[in-house]
Amino acid sequence: MTTADHPADQTADHTHDGPHGYISNKDDYLKRLRRIEGQARGLQGMVTDDKYCIDILTQVSAMTSALQSVALGLLNDHLSHCVVDAVAVGGDEAELKLKEAGDAIARLVRS
């Protein structure tokens, strides 16, 4: 099996000079991700404690929505910072950033 079979296993070589677009919201993202981490532990506990399937699925749905919210926020930050900056400069960097954004959107739509 190759890394192409598991895109999440691939590490990006893409760089961005200067701060990343999410830097002004970094603390908020970390807080939300810690909350999601707690939800994952709660789900494990529910399964361990043999909780009702529908209750577990409800919590999975909440966790999925929370992750999607983080993803959409990061995408918005990327578009409004990294992509806008690259497009202003133009050239190959602009094409790369637009392709990255399109690929990220495609991954989010598939998930």
Domains of the chain: 25-110 (1.20.58.1000)
pTM of the model: 0.73
Render pLDDT for 18-31 as a digit per residue (tens, 0 to 9). 567 677 788 999 99
Chain segment 34-54, per-residue pLDDT in tens: 999 999 999 999 999 999 999
CB environment 35-67: b (16+ within 10 A), e (fewer): ebeebeeebeebeeeeeeeeeeeebeeebeeeb
